[in-house]
């Protein structure tokens, strides 16, 4: 059975086609600059990369071209071979704790939650509608980044704010990256050979979050109402004293939207270093003796250590620490610095094992009190799995 995993942005459409249940990735790619001049798409198939410039007025046009390419390449003979399409949705609120089949009520709820994910949820609806038009016989599903975190207890997901804010305005912790945390925690249970585990999953990329996962269920996560909570990220500040916001709005004479831009797009590694939001650029700056890059990295690592230590206590121990996503999978120095900071817990990094990028492997020594692993994430596969299960 062929299942298509898609992630629609306001001007983009990422995709990956799988043969299920074998979980064989057949083809992947992305359509970019949809509705904008100079649009194009790239497709990766059989080890080759195909790039074509083409007019892409709408997401429907992108889906239409995608399906034509799949047939021209001989991947499918007709559209009905694609039995399911799974759509990534950033914000599902408290409505959804699992992947569901699309209907009008589901779309209405996704639209209602657009205020909490204004760049993502509306674009996802556009993608769903386009997919429905082009592939009317396929089962359309929605996979929520927030769903995995719906197992958090009330005392964890609520903020110490007027209680009515949660019911009236939906102010609570939702988290993000749930599809990634779900995938790597499930994979870690496979590696350990059991499901009764206490895991700390670290999705460390330009956006970053850490989750505490007990027996396969999330009990806490670092992101909050929005992705700008918890860790220091590429351009997001993460946790700060809330009173800084009105204080600096007054000082800078900026409005709420302008302050939101500063906190989300001008802070984090970028704000401290003054150079870049990219961890690789920060590491390069450190190699050149740039003090602000050194400071940014120390702050970045310190916050990761803080959350791992916090969740270690909350879980009552830990069976494994997992690093995933761009920085987690590829930054040798960041992983080493984080694990060195946990030495008080008996964690011992193995320099040789850790000297890898993007490979599933153990990176701590055999006598480390807690094993740490790199587990490359695969959110597209997780979407395909959930969609396949709703198609059979």
Q: How far apart are CA 383 and CA 377, in angstroms?
A: 12
Listed in sequence order, the residues at least 6 apart from 260 whose beta carbon sits closer than 8 Å to its beta carbon are: none
Q: Which two tokens stand for residue 68?
A: 């034509």
Q: Do 222 and 200 touch, CB atoms closer than 8 A?
A: no
Q: How far apart are CA 171 and CA 229, in angstroms?
A: 13
- The catalytic residues are 145
Map tokens 């009236």 to a residue. Answer: 168
Q: How far apart are CA 312 and CA 303, in angstroms?
A: 14
Q: How far apart are CA 348 and CA 366, in angstroms?
A: 9
* Exposed/middle/buried for residue 260 (C-beta within 10 Å: 0-12, 13-18, 19+): middle
State the DSSP H helix or E strand holding residue 137, giving kind and residue range, or none if neither: none
Q: Cα dihedral sign for 332, 333, 339, 343?
A: positive
CA-based radius of gyration for the chain? 21
Separation of first and last alpha carbons in the chain: 9
């Amino acid at each position: 059975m062929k299942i298509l995993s898609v992630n629609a942005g306001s001007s983009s459409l990422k995709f990956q086609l799988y043969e299920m249940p074998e979980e064989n990735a057949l083809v992947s790619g992305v359509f970019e600059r949809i509705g904008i001049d100079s649009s194009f798409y790239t497709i990766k198939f059989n080890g080759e990369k195909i790039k074509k410039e083409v007019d892409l007025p709408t997401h429907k046009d992108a889906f239409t071209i995608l399906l034509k390419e799949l047939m021209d390449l001989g991947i499918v003979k007709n559209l009905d071979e694609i039995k399911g399409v799974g759509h990534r949705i950033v914000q599902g609120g408290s409505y959804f704790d699992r992947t569901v089949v699309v209907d009008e009520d589901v779309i209405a709820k996704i639209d209602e939650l657009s205020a909490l994910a204004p760049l993502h949820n509306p674009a996802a609806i556009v993608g769903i509608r386009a997919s429905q038009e082009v592939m009317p016989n396929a089962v359309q599903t929605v996979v929520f980044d927030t769903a995995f975190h719906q197992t958090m207890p009330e005392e964890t997901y609520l903020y110490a704010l007027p209680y009515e804010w949660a019911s009236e305005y939906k102010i609570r912790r939702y988290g993000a990256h749930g599809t990634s945390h779900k995938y790597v925690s499930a994979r870690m249970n496979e590696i350990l050979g059991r499901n009764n585990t206490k895991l700390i999953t670290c999705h460390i990329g330009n956006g970053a979050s850490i989750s505490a996962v007990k027996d396969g269920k999330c009990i806490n996560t670092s992101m909050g109402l929005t992705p700008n909570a918890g860790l220091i990220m590429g351009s997001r500040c993460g946790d700060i004293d809330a009173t800084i916001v009105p204080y600096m709005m007054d000082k800078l004479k900026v409005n709420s939207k302008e302050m939101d831009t500063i906190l989300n797009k001008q802070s984090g590694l970028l704000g401290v270093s003054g150079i870049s939001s990219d961890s690789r650029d920060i590491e390069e700056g450190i190699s050149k003796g740039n003090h602000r890059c050194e400071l940014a990295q120390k702050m970045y690592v310190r916050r990761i250590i803080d959350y791992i230590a916090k969740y270690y206590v909350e879980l009552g121990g830990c069976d494994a620490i997992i690093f995933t996503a761009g920085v987690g999978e590829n930054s040798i120095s960041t992983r080493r610095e984080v694990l060195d900071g946990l030495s008080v817990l008996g964690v011992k990094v193995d320099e040789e094992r850790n000297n890898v990028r993007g490979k599933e492997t153990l990176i701590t020594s055999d006598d480390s009190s807690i094993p740490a692993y790199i587990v490359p994430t695969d959110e597209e596969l997780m979407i395909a799995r959930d969609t396949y299960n709703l198609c059979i």
